[in-house]
Amino acid sequence: MKNIVIFGAPGSGKGTQSERIVAKYGYEHISTGDVLREQIKEGTGLGKTAKYYIDNGQLIPDTLMVDILARTYDGFGKVDGVIFDGFPRTIPQAEALKAMLADRGTDVAVMLDLEVPEDELMARLINRGKTSGRADDNEETIKKRLDVYHSQTSPLIEWYKADGKYHHINGLGDMEKIFSDICVVIDNAKSI
């Protein structure tokens, strides 16, 4: 079992690369952002709460997220791997993920940090906003999301280094090259 955390700032390409990993390895994929957007579309109570935070570029409270994550994870049957995309985003979420996986006799195999320079992130997200229909892909909210990334999410880089799971990936340039760098890390990761 390979549990893979795909990490990076908004616009770093986590979703795109996750799709390619799924296509090649047949792993399950949890995108917490997609789960929340689905809840908003369905108009559930959780969706209503989530909308407030998402539209303001803020993170949804950890306790809610951990709950959603465990439920989604337990909904998967027996699989060779799971990709965590957009989770964890805070240190308490990383700790909760480790504890949840430990309860199930497993752990994170690798954390892939897709690094992309700030000006490129901004340009990609503004461009994405033209077609994504996402309420949070506008310049003002993008700036808030990048601030939240720096203050609350980027400390996870040191956390995963300390846990021995960290792998840097250059997220700028040719998509094939980025994906092949990712595959090298996944292929060499130990199944846990």
Catalytic (active-site) positions: 14, 89, 128, 134, 145
Q: Which residue's structure tokens are 């965590």?
A: 84
Least Å distance, CB 102 to ligand AMP, is: 19
Cα 176 to Cα 187: distance, rounded to the nearest angstrom: 16
Calculate the CA 68 to chain-centre distance.
14
Select 33 or 81, whichever has its Cβ closest to ligand AMP: 33
Select 26 or 61, whichever has its Cβ closest to ligand AMP: 61
Cα 40 to Cα 48: distance, rounded to the nearest angstrom: 6
Cα 183 to Cα 159: distance, rounded to the nearest angstrom: 23
Cα 179 to Cα 18: distance, rounded to the nearest angstrom: 10
> Given the rule CB under 6 A, which of 39-47, 56-64, 165-173, 176-184 is the region that contacts ligand AMP?
56-64
169 part of the interface to ligand AMP, by CB under 6 A: no
Instruction: Please list the helix, strand and coil fractions of the chain in percent, rounded to the nearest 5, in that order.
Output: 60, 15, 25
Amino acid sitting at position 160? Y
Site size toward ligand AMP (CB under 6 A) is: 16
32 part of the interface to ligand AMP, by CB under 6 A: yes
72 part of the interface to ligand AMP, by CB under 6 A: no
Least Å distance, CB 20 to ligand AMP, is: 17
Residues found near ligand AMP in the complex (CB under 6 A): 10, 32-33, 36, 53-54, 58-60, 65, 86-87, 89, 93, 136, 145
